[in-house]
Structure 1
């Protein structure tokens, strides 16, 4: 499935929660940012992820800070193929401590270790154990 088809399936609610891998998350976020711009793309991603969580029976699984942080990182690249590091779920640990992630489930929190930008900063010792 190409990116346009994946984004369309995501927005139509046709992706099973178990099939929404990290790679699909990255591809959908990038596609939404390209198709709708950053503000509307993020809103559409939030709606879709919340719907996925509901379909999975985990309506409280949505995390505001992780969703936006990932979206911001992904949307910042022009060529997704040129940023393979985005396929590594652990990179969020380079930007956020575990405490900051824990605080950010309901409200957006800026990163406390490094600004959200590529190239990647070095890995911190007190990193979060959250991925998105």
Structure 2
């Protein structure tokens, strides 16, 4: 997977990710650092995402999968990802996924939920 990310994932992974996470296009594009016009152009030309954007897509998918695993279903997982969270200082988990530090914080909270440690 690392080599695929370095080469650039298909731009078609973006709508798949939106569907998987139940997140609107503008929000996903913001998180992965891709403006709408560039996205539309890449989609029309079937050009891949760049490595940084591909890495962020992979991060979103990985954390979405982790949340689904912990909550047992995509609906509660996606709801959790899109709701303000006290353990994250009132921030919305998905909004933190544009950085490694934010993603680590979200993963830490998910791990605490998995093990029943809510404080």
The TM-score bracket by the shorter chain reads 0.3 to 0.5
Q: TM-score, normalised by structure 2?
A: 0.34
